[in-house]
Amino acid sequence: MRPHSLQILSVEEAFGRQGWHCELIEGREVLRAGFDAHHTRVNLIAQAYPQLNALSIVSESALHLDEEHLPAVLELLARGNKQLTLGGFEYDLDREFLVFRITNLFEKEKYDPDIVSSMVHCAIAELDRIIPYAAVVRDTPADLLEDLDLERLLMRQDLIPPVPGDEEEEY
């Protein structure tokens, strides 16, 4: 079995600096972690591509959908992707998971820990942001899906989790 690359080891080090528990997968350039977000439990996978000096961070959470609700959720994700600058939403049809993926190319073999941390924060926050919208679609009765305005749904601010540090302190 070959040793892990400097790239994935630098990701593990960045996680350690943040106090995040993670697990390197033997024989692969992959690290796994789990996080409790505002709305959901997030499974996170970091995969290094040493030949490219690239890192992909994938956050995912289970979302079971029936045939009637699947097209509306896929449209919701497509509309959500239009609002993004970095990364993108996906739906894993085989495993029934909502997914957010972000990738970055690095200049050096040892990845910048601040960029790695930002990618992790982004992947968790974006997935946590879309989950309640997808839940609204999933929980809408099938006969009312046609009336659901997905563009307006994505504008609802009451479903977005608070940004850490932005909450007003109570005295």
Q: What is the pLDDT of residue 1?
A: 72
Check residue 111 and report its DSSP letter.
Answer: -
Sheet-wide strand order for 23-25 = 23-25, 30-36, 41-49, 54-62, 97-105, 88-92
Q: What is the pLDDT of residue 141?
A: 97
pLDDT (tens digit, 9 = 90+) per residue, 102-154?
A: 999 999 989 999 999 999 999 999 999 999 999 999 999 999 999 999 999 99
Given a cut of 90, is residue 170 above it in pLDDT?
no
- The amino acid occupying position 49 is Y
On whether the 6-153 domain is CATH 3.30.1460.10, my answer is yes
Q: What is the pLDDT of residue 106?
A: 95
- The amino acid occupying position 13 is E
pLDDT (tens digit, 9 = 90+) per residue, 82-109?
A: 999 999 999 999 999 999 999 999 999 8
Q: Of all helices (H) and strands (E), which one includes residue 43?
A: strand 41-49
Residue in this structure with the two tokens 């085989």, named with its chain if needed: 94
The Cα diameter of the chain in Å comes to: 57
